Chain A
Amino acid sequence: MQPSSRTIELVAPAGSLAALKIALQAGADAVYLGLQNATNARNFSGLNFSEAHLRSGVELAHHMGRKVLFAINTFPQAGRVAEWRAAVDVAHSLEADAVIIADPGLLAYARDRYPDMRLHLSVQSSATHADAIEFMREQFGIRRAVLPRVLTLAEIEKLIRQTSVEIEVFGFGSLCVMAEGRCLLSSYATGESPNSHGVCSPAHAVRWHDQDGHLEARLNDILIDRYAPGEPAAYPTLCKGRFAAGIDRSTDADMADHALEEPTSLNALSLLPRLLGMGVSALKIEGRQRSPAYVGQVTATLRAALDSAQADPARFAARPEWQFSLSRHAEGSQVTQGAFERPWK
């Protein structure tokens, strides 16, 4: 048995205090969370933390020797920068272990105001190569960068060799087919985007409608998908809708397919020894909008798998029960290793 000298920090989503508790119980090394406003990229109603819940969440995590990472990762809007700065102030006063930020103006504020605060570069800043990441380190002293889900394992490995900044990658969860921070599709359709409002395909713009037995899912009245009777329906995230292309408009209703992306989930379980070997510092689970049950089961599964990979990377095998447990939480029925392995290449 050859235990790995390296470890990967398991970072779990916490959309609520309940999810935070269950993530810590399930073995997360860190949780990430956000305030109940537009300062973070999961600004969904009923989600996220009041200051009182934040306080008890941080206390609990620190009591257990774990970390809390504050996502303040939308772009401060002109005239309202104070709201984002206030979120940084709250994170500091509650002794957050790090803040996850995308905007250089806000990074400058955090660096100048709280020089001791640990800064993570958010995936929303779309820093995909060493020149970008090292530049942000020189400018702001960032300690970690979260990589957009666009790089292959080979490119991630090269990148890690070229930077002293810790690298965090997504390991499980719903897949954004677009590069994070580089997508305005939601505001094109609804007026609200991840960059500006911290939302994508917001629930208030969704309408479900039964049309002669066919279920229609609309986003701001735009038909994102239509389902035949008995066909499983998915939330109308607009890049996952069915659309038609080509000259003949008369067949659009029938010829439409998933032109951008089918509903799939990322699952890097079987890649853990390679991620470990190349020096990835942290593995992130997507899904602050998901239930505490999702958070608990996915975190526990990845905890077990990571422990196994770290104990003996050469002999690691993804156990069927782990894959089964994760597949139950996958969006749609498909699971992919995404850009890591590029099946579409």
Chain B
Amino acid sequence: MFMPSTFPSTLPWRIAAGPLLYYWSRQETFDFYAAMSCMPVDIVYLGETVCSRRHELRDADWLELAAMLRKSGKSVVLSTRTLIETSAEAAAVRRLCAQDEYAVEAGETGAVGLRKGRPFVAGPHLNVYNGEALNWLQQQGATRFVAPLEMNRDTLTQLIAERPADMEVEAMVWGRMPLAFSARCFTARHFRLHKDDCGFRCKEHPDGLALRTRESQDFLAINGVQTQSAACLDLLDETQALARIGVNVMRVSPQSQGSFHAIMALDALRHGRAATPVALPPGMGRCNGYWHAKPGIALVEGET
């Protein structure tokens, strides 16, 4: 039975692990979530949201992970796919939205409707930019929304001011940002493969495959049909400001390295302790431009 997680009122925010956006092996994925179960994380989003061809974990495996994490005291949310292209994918969304064992994160409009008024989390790609849209989502059952990645401090402050009462706010604070979705698979394209015969090459790139400009500036990262920022979003220095404007949940998006450090940093910060620096996967830079009302790729240092 889905139970709204209890919010320890003494702490300024809860910590969430967003859905794993990459294609890791079954063993790596199970190991990752076994470690996650020992982390000071409150909410764990589970499921394959990017590509329905990925099959290392079947539904039953995700449910096994969900049960394990719940037993460890985590609030588990099952995430639906973001871009629905086939009837098979639509059927999967229908199945996921029909269950009430676990909470659901709606990745797109179809999932919102399929909840039929039962609680859900409105995912980051639903394009919620104003309070009227939030009112409507609440009428459909949304209890929390994940802010669009491109919002800045002022626009997010305004959006939170316009939100209906009792609507919780989640913001992504760490990880490569999922910026775009396509019908085409860019990883397959890179290896000159067809999408339907892709060889699952994205498994070789646990953090996606970075794209650089012709003068070697890190720019984007391709992850199958998803395009991400090459730089890792890092708002760990801004968490107090995020909490002040009303963000209840800070989301870490899993990377092959650093995710647990980021979670521990968020935990230290919410207990008023200093956070230790977070080591990023080799070669990955940082960015925080959106928050500072600059291009997302920008990195503004030294402000709090």
Distance A222 CA – B293 CA, assembled complex (angstroms): 18
Q: Mark B206-245, 1 if CB is under 8 A from A, else 0.
A: 0001111111110110100001010000000000000000
User: A61-87: which residues lie under 8 A (CB-CB) from chain B?
Assistant: 75-79, 81
Distance A245 CA – B201 CA, assembled complex (angstroms): 14
Interface of A is mostly: mixed
Chain A proximity of B97: nearest CB distance (Å):
9
Chain B proximity of A178: nearest CB distance (Å):
4
In the complex, what residues of B have CB within 8 A of residue A344's CB?
A: 184-185, 188-189, 194-195
User: A19-57: which residues lie under 8 A (CB-CB) from chain B?
Assistant: none
In the complex, what residues of A have CB within 8 A of residue B184's CB?
A: 177, 261, 344
In the complex, what residues of B have CB within 8 A of residue A314's CB?
A: none
Distance A183 CA – B229 CA, assembled complex (angstroms): 12
Assess whether B133 is interfacial by the CB under 8 Å rule: yes
Indicate if the CB atoms of B130 and A131 lie closer than 8 Å: no
In the complex, what residues of A have CB within 8 A of residue B177's CB?
A: 184, 188
Q: Which listed residue (A124, A129, A179, A345) contacts B182, Cβ 8 A? A: A179
Q: Which residue on chain B has the smallest CB distance to residue A108?
A: B136
Of the candidate stretches A7-15, A248-256, A275-283, A290-298, the one touching chain B is: A248-256
In the complex, what residues of A have CB within 8 A of residue B216's CB?
A: 244, 249, 252-253
Q: Which residue on chain A has the smallest CB distance to residue B294?
A: A191
Question: What is the total number of residues of chain B having a CB less than 8 Å from a CB of chain A?
Answer: 71
Indicate if the CB atoms of A182 and B159 lie closer than 8 Å: no
Indicate if the CB atoms of B133 and A105 lie closer than 8 Å: yes
Assess whether B82 is interfacial by the CB under 8 Å rule: yes
Q: Which listed residue (B86, B112, B129, B289) contacts A195, Cβ 8 A? A: B129
Assess whether B304 is interfacial by the CB under 8 Å rule: no
User: A189-242: which residues lie under 8 A (CB-CB) from chain B?
Assistant: 189-191, 193, 195-196, 220, 222-226, 239, 241-242
Q: A76-B130, A78-B129, A184-B149 are in contact. Are A345 and B293 (CB under 8 A)?
A: no
Indicate if the CB atoms of B213 and A222 lie closer than 8 Å: yes
Indicate if the CB atoms of B132 and A76 lie closer than 8 Å: yes
Indicate if the CB atoms of B186 and A129 lie closer than 8 Å: no
Distance A178 CA – B226 CA, assembled complex (angstroms): 9
Assess whether B150 is interfacial by the CB under 8 Å rule: yes
Distance A205 CA – B89 CA, assembled complex (angstroms): 38
Question: What is the total number of residues of chain A having a CB less than 8 Å from a CB of chain B?
Answer: 72
In the complex, what residues of A have CB within 8 A of residue B183's CB?
A: 149-151, 179, 339, 342
Q: A181-B127, A260-B186 are in contact. Are A243 and B296 (CB under 8 A)?
A: no
Q: A187-B295, A193-B150, A195-B127 are in contact. Are A155 and B85 (CB under 8 A)?
A: yes
Q: Which residue on chain A has the smallest CB distance to residue B133?
A: A105
In the complex, what residues of B have CB within 8 A of residue A178's CB?
A: 180-182, 227
Indicate if the CB atoms of A188 and B127 lie closer than 8 Å: no
User: B72-118: which residues lie under 8 A (CB-CB) from chain A?
Assistant: 82-87, 89-90, 93-94, 108-110, 112-114
Distance A108 CA – B184 CA, assembled complex (angstroms): 33
Assess whether A307 is interfacial by the CB under 8 Å rule: no
Indicate if the CB atoms of B129 and A76 lie closer than 8 Å: yes
Chain B proximity of A35: nearest CB distance (Å):
18
Distance A315 CA – B243 CA, assembled complex (angstroms): 65
Q: Mark B270-304, 1 if CB is under 8 A from A, else 0.
A: 00000000000000000001100111110000000
Q: Which residue on chain B has the smallest CB distance to residue A195?
A: B127
Q: Which listed residue (B86, B130, B150, B219) contacts A184, Cβ 8 A? A: B150
Q: Which residue on chain A has the smallest CB distance to residue B156?
A: A78
Q: List 26 A-B contacts (CB under 8 A).
A: A75-B127, A79-B155, A79-B162, A125-B109, A126-B108, A128-B83, A129-B89, A129-B90, A131-B113, A134-B113, A136-B113, A150-B85, A150-B182, A188-B150, A189-B219, A190-B295, A193-B150, A196-B150, A223-B214, A223-B215, A224-B213, A245-B210, A253-B214, A256-B212, A344-B189, A345-B195
Which positions in A face B, CB cutoff 8 Å?
75-79, 81, 102-106, 108-109, 124-132, 134-136, 138-139, 149-151, 155, 158, 177-179, 181-185, 187-191, 193, 195-196, 220, 222-226, 239, 241-246, 249, 252-253, 256, 259-261, 339, 342, 344-345
Which positions in B face A, CB cutoff 8 Å?
82-87, 89-90, 93-94, 108-110, 112-114, 125, 127, 129-137, 148-150, 155, 158-159, 161-162, 177, 179-186, 188-190, 194-196, 209-217, 219-220, 222, 227, 229, 289-290, 293-297
- Seed contacts A189-B296, A196-B150; 14 additional CB < 8 Å A-B pairs: A78-B129, A126-B83, A139-B136, A178-B180, A179-B183, A181-B127, A182-B180, A184-B296, A185-B180, A195-B150, A260-B227, A339-B183, A344-B195, A345-B196
